[in-house]
Structure 1
Amino acid sequence: MIDLRDTTKRYGDGPPALAGVTLSVAAGECVAILGHSGSGKSTLLNLIAGLDKPSGGTVTVDGTRVDQLGEAGSAKYRRASIGMIFQFFNLLDDLTVLDNVMVPAQLAGMGKGEAKRRAVELLGSLGIDRHVKAYPQRLSGGERQRVAVARALMNKPALLLADEPTGALDSGSAEDVRELLLDLNSEGQTILLVTHDVQLAASTARRTIELVDGAVERDVVNTVNVGAGAPLNGPAGAVR
């Protein structure tokens, strides 16, 4: 699904933000990218999302050479192949929950009726369909993140990028989002989780890749521990 080969990114004359990174993520994997501030996590995410170009090496996602795309091609690639979840939700406060979720589909040219059906289905699967007419500022942090997840899944992306998805949440909401990510992955969704939280990485992802000064320091397989026999209680099943 993701294949980076000797990928480097430099800004100016300083040390590289990414220094010859080679890594791969298979379809259906949940992989955590771990590292402190300045380690290269955001740069890596931006290259995979087609928001930036590498200075050297290649970036291939779902068979597409992302590093070779122009501006229009990059935008089309993100609409078709990438779903993104952010730390601070990035919802539009002047749109209802339903309208927020529908935005990616409408940008991709989906008809309004089909987009509405898809959005309601997703919101129902995530247990927040009762909030379709509400505005984001009326919801809790955990509820807003569920809306953001529904929006990210709207176009059935091949890859879900989660950038510090629990960073702005209280512990209870963070646990809900962690279980949601596990549930989505169990349904086959490929997820790249970017975080500085060691516990979140170890308990959510099957692999952890640690970046230090723009280079891969380690790449290890995790043993996911969700508690002693505790089921992953997503509100229904994840919808793809």
Structure 2
Amino acid sequence: MGNVIELRGAVKRYDNADGPALGPLTLTVEEGEAVAVTGPSGSGKSTLLNLVAGLDKPTAGTVTVGGTRIDDLGEGGLARFRRERIGMVFQFFNLLDDLTVLDNIVLPAQLAGTARGKAAARAHELLETLGIDQHARAYPGRLSGGERQRVAVARALINRPALLLADEPTGALDMASGRDVRELLIDLHRGGQTIVLVTHDLDLAESCAGRTVHLVDGHVALDRNSGAGAVR
């Protein structure tokens, strides 16, 4: 298996900060790995996620995802790359309330040029797998937090991304819904999905990821294989 993520000497500086928000950082994530990124607020977790997602560019160094140097891409190329190769799940779902569950899920596929019928078939497949097919015609506001996060996961997976990024995916959920999403992430990883999970929840990190990368002041303070959540 090859590397899905390669950061080589990646640095991110912001104009109003004394030092770099991240790095220099060298980090790789292999295909099929589930990696939890932890650390205190301001440690660089969100900056790292934004670099990997192509939402921000490094000040120095390189960022390669799925064999593509994304720090070399322009805005149009980055947008296409994200649609086709990266799935993202956020703490607050980021669903469009005026679209049905089905329409929320198929939207990224249609933006990537997939025919509506093919996208809808893929969406129903995901909804059934995630146990929420009965909500296909509902609107997000009618669903529980856990159900909305499952819709967000289905939307993230619609284009069969090489990489799933999850930013505090249980942070806005009650305990029961959080357990459901945790089990979902474990199942996705067991199915071979490469996942990078940013979280403050150490229990979530231990249960979902076979490897934990702990950041402090923009640098890796700990990088260890936990064994928990690992696929063998």
TM-score range, shorter chain: over 0.9
Taking structure 2 as the reference length, the TM-score comes to 0.96
User: Conserved in 1, the CA contact under 8 Å of 2:101 and 2:136?
Assistant: yes
Residue in 1 that maps onto 2:10: 7
* Unmatched 5+ stretches in structure 2: none
The whole-number CA distance in structure 2 between the counterparts of 1:47 and 1:93 is 28
Residue in 2 that maps onto 1:107: 111
User: Conserved in 1, the CA contact under 8 Å of 2:186 and 2:229?
Assistant: no
Q: Say whether 1:97 aligns with 2:117.
A: no
The whole-number CA distance in structure 1 between the counterparts of 2:93 and 2:50 is 17
Q: Say whether 1:135 aligns with 2:133.
A: no
- The C-alpha deviation readout for 1:62-87, integer Å capped at 9, x for no partner, is 10001111001100110110000000
Q: What SS is found at the alignment partner of 2:224?
A: strand
User: Conserved in 2, the CA contact under 8 Å of 1:208 and 1:220?
Assistant: yes
Residue in 2 that maps onto 1:213: 217
Count of residues in Structure 1 that have an aligned counterpart in Structure 2: 226
Q: Which of 120, 127, 130 is equivalent to 1:123?
A: 127
- The C-alpha deviation readout for 1:134-183, integer Å capped at 9, x for no partner, is 00010000000000000000000000000000000011110110110010
Q: Which of 146, 151, 157 is equivalent to 1:153?
A: 157
Counting only pairs closer than 5 Å after superposition, residues 1-240 of structure 1 correspond to structure 2 as 1-12=4-15, 13-224=17-228
The whole-number CA distance in structure 1 between the counterparts of 2:18 and 2:135 is 48
Taking structure 1 as the reference length, the TM-score comes to 0.92
The whole-number CA distance in structure 2 between the counterparts of 1:156 and 1:204 is 20
* Unmatched 5+ stretches in structure 1: 227-240
The whole-number CA distance in structure 2 between the counterparts of 1:144 and 1:25 is 28
Give the partner amino acid of 1:188: G
Identical aligned residues as a percent = 66
Give the partner amino acid of 1:6: G
Moved over 3 A (4+): none
- Cα offset, 1:225, TM superposition: 6.9
Q: What SS is found at the alignment partner of 1:23?
A: strand
User: Conserved in 1, the CA contact under 8 Å of 2:149 and 2:181?
Assistant: yes
Give the partner amino acid of 1:154: I
User: Conserved in 1, the CA contact under 8 Å of 2:182 and 2:208?
Assistant: yes
Q: What SS is found at the alignment partner of 1:123?
A: helix
The whole-number CA distance in structure 2 between the counterparts of 1:184 and 1:2 is 18
Cα distance change, pair 225–21 in 1 and its aligned pair in 2 (3 A): closer
The whole-number CA distance in structure 2 between the counterparts of 1:14 and 1:51 is 22
User: Conserved in 1, the CA contact under 8 Å of 2:106 and 2:120?
Assistant: yes
